[in-house]
Amino acid sequence: MRDPGRYAAGVSADGGGGCLGDRQPVYWFTVSAQTKLWMDRCLALPAYGNDPFAGKRIAIALTYGGQDPFDSGCVNALRTFQDAYRYTGSTLVGMVYGSAMEAGEILKNRAVMKAAQDLGKELVIGAAPS
């Protein structure tokens, strides 16, 4: 890894709030190659004396094509995030996911958008909204 500080700084760029929101589409039944590369590099940071995920509160938002989170790969991506963030000592506050086949379609799904808004509030405020 050429510059481990670059990745640690990116994870720590939350202003000291201790939280990180990650939103991703599902590609080929799991996280994208770019996301996997970022995760691989960040998961190596403790070997360089940086542990930017320890104690962080994490929220995940995913979109996927199809109607079933199991046959679309959404569940695989969710498990990837669960396992990775558990390994880093982070707290996974929650996950929200929904199906969309066209650009902007997820915005029309009021239930998913409400769940994402509530999850964002829980991540930042530290308690589920009432």
- With a cut of 50, say whether residue 16 has pLDDT above it: no
For residue 118, give both structure tokens: 């509530």
Contact 128, 118 (CB under 8 A): yes
Classify residue 128 by burial, with Cβ atoms within 10 Å: 0-12, 13-18, 19+.
exposed
Residue 6's pLDDT is 47
Residue 108's pLDDT is 93
State the average pLDDT over residues 30-51. Answer: 81
Options 1.20.1250.20, 3.40.47.10, 3.40.630.10, 3.40.50.360; CATH for 4-125 is: 3.40.50.360
Q: pLDDT tens digits for 55-107?
A: 888 888 888 888 888 888 889 889 988 998 888 888 889 999 999 888 889 89
The residues with which 62 forms a beta bridge, in sequence order, are: 24, 97
- With a cut of 80, say whether residue 130 has pLDDT above it: no
